[in-house]
Structure 1
Amino acid sequence: MKKLVLSLAALTLSFVALGQGNNYAQNYQKFEGLAMTPPMGWNSWNKFACNVDEKLIRETADAMVSSGMKAAGYTYINIDDCWHGDRDSLGFIQADPKRFPSGIKALADYVHSKGLKLGIYSDAGSQTCGGRPGSRGYEFQDAQMYAQWGVDYLKYDWCNTEGLKAEGAYKTITAALRKAGRPMVLSICEWGTDKPWEWGPAVGHLWRTTGDIYNCFDCVKDHGTWKSWGVMQILDQQEGLRQYAGPGQWNDPDMLEVGNGMAVNEDRAHFTMWSMLAAPLIAGNDLRQMSKETLAILTDREVLAINQDKLGIQGLKYSAKDSLETWLKPLDGGKWAVAFLNRAKVPQKVSFDWKKTPITDALSKRELNANKTDYKIRNVWAKKSQGTTKKAFEATVPAHDVVLVVLAE
């Protein structure tokens, strides 16, 4: 009888444990159906760092509409670090009352009224990179607040994460977002240290592949314990990652520096290569006072079409010689984008014989063969037709610039 009682007790405990396990099971899968093309928007950090407030965000939303950026496809207005105030007595995060006196909900409502979406920032550690309250230990509460506020996009950083493992930490915030119930794009900002491209596709919609970008075409800024990277340095770090990108999952080489001080030709090359990479296009300049050249780059419909191509195939570097690189990107409808990037400080001549250079992309299983197909050539930035692939392509690429063409049957 004693054995029977013990067995029944054990059986009861096992059912209780099983029931608890079911009740508390977590969903570590991202929201599906989001970011099917690379996200397009704006983020406050590159230009304003911690100097953010609701006036800036409202004016930026206004400028995104009035400038034509919304019409070109830009959607997200993302507040980066330093919006945070304290947590309340129950641990729920609040916005800084001086910087955001109306609160994030009112700000989200304003952004939504413009036909745009609002993004916010947090950190997997105890503090953000700017020293504000991080989400560690408060993930589910923070996700609930973001959902209540109407947030559409979360950039989740990796400062002050002592002892945490990246994949587990990002699974936790994904589970929290799923529990909160509001679909949000999750931007994994782990800097590529723990190879997020290997586990990120199930957890988030984009993942940083490098450290922070720096407003420089070809240089490195050494901060002592860490470095930020120029545009060309970040481009080089994308090698070997293209197989991980596709609809709903994107390699993120960090936000754009277009309009933040580089020369126009360098901005054009930067924007072109991010489009060839199928990278998220998150502007980082002051939208309220852009030059016409900056606006023209950011809103060029033909370049944006390359970035937003529905196949979602990341471009490949085909060749590199004497600082002149040739990149190719398969596009929908049998088209190809081809970029000739000049990394040198002097102009370089291009002579590319299509018929002598049949190319097969093993990843996309696409062939560019001018012996089988005669392609028409469209020079994208010059806005003109430039013959066909029956003849070799001849051009001069200015220093720190690019020639971009689209081939169509």
Structure 2
Amino acid sequence: MKIKLPKYQYINMDSGWSNACDQYGRWMYRSDLFPNGLKPLSDYLKTNGHRLGIYILPGIRKDAADANMPIKGTNHTLGELVTRKLEGNGFKGTTYMPDEHNELVQAYYDSIADLFAEWGIGFVKIDGCGPGGGDQFHTHQSPDNRACLRMLSKAFQRHDIWMELSWYLDAAYVEDWIEIANGARVFIDIESYSTKTMTSSHRVFQRFSHVERWVEKDLVGRPNGFFLDLDVVLVGMTVNGTCIDGLDNDDIRQSYISFWAMVSSVLCLGGDPRMIPEKYLSMLHHPGMLAIHQSGVVAKPLGTTGLWNNRKQVWWKRLPTGEIYVGLFNTHVYRFMLGLSHEIKFRLKDFDLITAEIKDVWSGNILGVYNDSYSVVLKPGQCKILLLTAK
């Protein structure tokens, strides 16, 4: 990571790093995988400028509560907190919801955060959060565990630990998520769970309409320190010399990265960087795209009118420094299925401009000075990312 993708900061482990708890009911690493513990690992990562991240579930661990383990620093036990045995998250049978969200529950969560801080953890993904959760067919499988999440947030903030919420969060509660966390997943897993490929072009295109729900109120992005998470970027994932990302072509791979950058989504990769082909590494580390991404400004669609949502294929954002970035995407699912190219057009007055120099960010080429409007014909799945400078 240090050599191949030096701009990336966190190295996160998803579920599987823990299968038990310690004597205080806190998440504990697997000794078979980490015989020396997690602190030596995080210390090593720090020498490369990286921070270690892990995955947990909200609520009080079922195994710890059933064993009535003590709450560190108190004379109470975890079993006292969960007499009603309510489900604590969207993965049934894993954690309990506290009967009351009181100072003892906060003490338990504080002890978890303290332990993670001792290990050097800098990022925690919390899954099974709600309201929300589930899949496109069975939504809202997760209970409303916002009270737990607020307590976890308070605990992790004391140690400057990034807190990410997961499993298809409900955009109707965006104000709550902003108060609680640094980021949240907006849709189902992007993985297709195929035996041969990781995702599909269709699953990438699905994200566009879901992002729109989150940006309506202009709350997400750097000002509030809360970022969308469109899920992992699987571009170029390679195993045994074969690219298994499941994407149809490089136009779609470029659109995939471009949209994540335009909305400043949490940009998380799933592939071993030693195996990703150089052409895809260059996409994932393109300086122009990373600058757009790191601005923290979240793009919005230009409009949503029309059966084919033509204007929704144009996403744009204005940076605090004045630069205007415009993304043109021919990623409508039906057009892609039918193999249809499409002309996408915008007017400069949509961005309060009369005349502008337009630069293609991916190629670095200046396309010229334009008056009134700009249009381009894009192949199915293709995009253009443009920088507009007033003239």
* Residue 99 (str. 1) matches residue 7 (str. 2): no
Are the aligned partners of 1:350 and 1:393 in contact in 2 as well (CA < 8 Å)? no
Q: Evaluate the alpha carbon distance shift between residue 74 and residue 87 of structure 1 in structure 2; reply closer, same or farther with a 3 A threshold.
A: same
* Residue 157 (str. 1) matches residue 94 (str. 2): no
Are the aligned partners of 1:81 and 1:130 in contact in 2 as well (CA < 8 Å)? no
Give the one of 257, 262, 267 matched to 1:281: 267
* Residue 65 (str. 1) matches residue 38 (str. 2): no
Q: Evaluate the alpha carbon distance shift between residue 309 and residue 207 of structure 1 in structure 2; reply closer, same or farther with a 3 A threshold.
A: same
Q: Distance in 2 between matches of 1:268 and 1:100?
A: 37
Give the one of 228, 237, 248 matched to 1:251: 228
Q: Distance in 2 between matches of 1:106 and 1:135?
A: 31
Give the one of 158, 162, 168 matched to 2:147: 168
SS of 1:389 mapped into structure 2: strand
Distance apart, 1:351 and its partner CA: 5.8
Which residue does 2:325 correspond to in 1?
A: 337
Q: Distance in 2 between matches of 1:131 and 1:294?
A: 38
Which residue does 1:25 correspond to in 2?
A: none
Q: Distance in 2 between matches of 1:306 and 1:85?
A: 39
Distance apart, 1:212 and its partner CA: 1.5
Deviation by residue 1:82-117 (Cα, 9 ceiling, x = unmatched): 100422333333211111112111111011111111
Which residue does 2:50 correspond to in 1?
A: 116
Which residue does 2:180 correspond to in 1?
A: 203
Which residue does 1:177 correspond to in 2?
A: 156
Q: Distance in 2 between matches of 1:194 and 1:142?
A: 28
Deviation by residue 1:299-344 (Cα, 9 ceiling, x = unmatched): 111111111125x243324357757512212223322111111123
Are the aligned partners of 2:345 and 2:376 in contact in 1 as well (CA < 8 Å)? no
Q: Evaluate the alpha carbon distance shift between residue 146 and residue 253 of structure 1 in structure 2; reply closer, same or farther with a 3 A threshold.
A: same
Unmatched runs of 5 consecutive residues or more in structure 1: 1-63, 220-229, 360-367
Structure 1 vs Structure 2 CA RMSD: 2.9
Structure 1 stretch displaced more, 322-331 or 379-388: 322-331
* Residue 315 (str. 1) matches residue 300 (str. 2): yes
Give the one of 241, 250, 253 matched to 2:214: 241
SS of 1:333 mapped into structure 2: coil
Deviation by residue 1:42-87 (Cα, 9 ceiling, x = unmatched): xxxxxxxxxxxxxxxxxxxxxx1111x12xx211111111100422
* Residue 387 (str. 1) matches residue 368 (str. 2): yes
Which residue does 1:292 correspond to in 2?
A: 278
Amino acid at match of 1:329: K
Amino acid at match of 1:369: D
Deviation by residue 1:216-242 (Cα, 9 ceiling, x = unmatched): 4444xxxxxxxxxx1111221112311
Q: Distance in 1 between matches of 2:267 and 2:29?
A: 27
SS of 1:177 mapped into structure 2: helix
Are the aligned partners of 1:207 and 1:250 in contact in 2 as well (CA < 8 Å)? yes
Q: Distance in 1 between matches of 2:234 and 2:13?
A: 16
Q: Distance in 1 between matches of 2:346 and 2:28?
A: 60
Are the aligned partners of 1:84 and 1:133 in contact in 2 as well (CA < 8 Å)? no
Amino acid at match of 2:8: Y
Q: Distance in 1 between matches of 2:144 and 2:93?
A: 21
Are the aligned partners of 2:129 and 2:165 in contact in 1 as well (CA < 8 Å)? no
Amino acid at match of 1:177: F
Q: Evaluate the alpha carbon distance shift between residue 200 and residue 166 of structure 1 in structure 2; reply closer, same or farther with a 3 A threshold.
A: same
Q: Distance in 2 between matches of 1:307 and 1:336?
A: 13
Within 5 Å, give how 1:15-30 maps onto structure 2. none
Unmatched runs of 5 consecutive residues or more in structure 2: 63-88, 98-104, 134-140, 192-197, 238-244
When the two structures are superposed, what TM-score results if normalisation uses the length of structure 2?
0.73
Deviation by residue 1:178-235 (Cα, 9 ceiling, x = unmatched): 4xx311111111421474422011111111222222344444xxxxxxxxxx111122
Q: Distance in 1 between matches of 2:346 and 2:170?
A: 40
Q: Distance in 1 between matches of 2:175 and 2:232?
A: 21
Q: Distance in 2 between matches of 1:353 and 1:155?
A: 38
Distance apart, 1:349 and its partner CA: 4.5
SS of 1:293 mapped into structure 2: helix
Amino acid at match of 1:139: Y
Distance apart, 1:140 and its partner CA: 2.9
Q: Which has the higher contact order (CA 8 A, sep 6+)?
A: 1
Q: Evaluate the alpha carbon distance shift between residue 134 and residue 141 of structure 1 in structure 2; reply closer, same or farther with a 3 A threshold.
A: farther
Within 5 Å, give how 1:221-236 maps onto structure 2. 230-236=203-209
* Residue 370 (str. 1) matches residue 353 (str. 2): yes
SS of 1:304 mapped into structure 2: helix
Give the one of 249, 254, 257 matched to 1:268: 254
Q: Evaluate the alpha carbon distance shift between residue 120 and residue 234 of structure 1 in structure 2; reply closer, same or farther with a 3 A threshold.
A: same
Q: Evaluate the alpha carbon distance shift between residue 183 and residue 352 of structure 1 in structure 2; reply closer, same or farther with a 3 A threshold.
A: same
Amino acid at match of 1:87: C
SS of 2:303 mapped into structure 1: strand
Amino acid at match of 2:367: Q
SS of 1:241 mapped into structure 2: helix
Structure 1 stretch displaced more, 295-304 or 84-93: 84-93
